[in-house]
Amino acid sequence: MTLTAYLVSAAALVSAQAPVPAGAEAARSPFVERLRMLAQLQSLNADLLSRDSATAVLQTLCARRNPDAPTIRARRLVVKANAEQLAEARRELGAQANEPVVYRRVELICGSEILSRADNWYLPDRLTTTMNHTLTTTDTPFGVAVQALQFQRRTLASRLMFTPLPTGWETRVAADFDLASPPPADVLEHRAVLQTPDGRRFSLLVEVYTNQIFTR
């Protein structure tokens, strides 16, 4: 059994055993809520590591959560590119000295919830004219705009920014640690490059996932 499957099973078991006050909507203990958060966070992280499109991962999550408005929307933010980050992106992508690099930041939204923010440095000369036009004139998610490239995602780093339960929680008494504090605004960060099937890189991504990824 995988860690995620174990956590989900454990959360369901504890939840089923927890007393539910009369008239309450599905009362859960703080420990069960944290266990659910841990399962959801680990599941999202595993999905991102195993898929080529982060947008597709969030699309699945959004459709499951919000069937009335299941489509992920991207909202472009006007942010000036940082020169140091731009230079780093150029090195990471293997861009030539005279090759332009474009910076794009978006929020990926499900309904009214911002699930992630993505900083994207990409090489327009390695995309088609239609793709570049879409990226500069619409709010289309990057992965959707360039899907015709049949790109592959290579994760460079994955970092949990929030630990719902402390190390060794399974052998400790829940009362020994704080379960009341809310999760921080940002809970997970991924750094990745997108490349064509022949290994030619064209995009560097830094994605930060918010606490809105948790199902309430």
pLDDT-based confidence at residue 3 (cuts at 50, 70, 90): very low
Distance CA 159, CA 163 (A): 11
Per-residue pLDDT tens over the stretch 96-127: 989 999 999 999 999 899 999 999 999 999 99
Structure confidence at residue 42 as a pLDDT band (50, 70, 90)? very high
Average pLDDT (182-208) is 96
- Report pLDDT digits (tens) over 17-33: 344 444 444 456 888 88
CATH number of domain containing 97: 3.40.1410.10
* Contact (CB, 8 A) for 62 and 70: yes
The pLDDT value recorded for residue 215 is 81
Mean pLDDT of 23-48: 81
For 44, the enclosing helix (H) or strand (E) is helix 30-50
Q: Average of pLDDT values for 32-59?
A: 93
Split at pLDDT 50, 70, 90, the class of 165 is confident
Helical (H) or strand (E) element with 102 = strand 102-110
Domain that holds residue 184: 3-213
Of 140, 155, 133, the closest CA to residue 51 belongs to 155
pLDDT band at residue 35 using 50, 70 and 90 as cut-offs: confident
| pLDDT score for 181 | 82
Query: CB atoms < 10 A from the CB of 28, how many?
Result: 17
User: Can you tell me the mean pLDDT for 38-61?
Assistant: 94
Structure tokens at 149: 């490239």
Residues 86-103: pLDDT tens digits?
999 999 999 998 999 999
pLDDT at 174 (0 to 100): 62
Confidence bin at 166 (pLDDT 50/70/90): confident
Start-to-end Cα distance in the chain: 25
Mean predicted lDDT score pLDDT of the chain = 85
Number of domains in the chain: 1
Give the integer Cα–Cα distance in Å for 183 and 163: 9
- Spatial separation of the C-alpha atoms in residues 92 and 86, rounded to whole Å: 10
| 176 has pLDDT over 90 | no
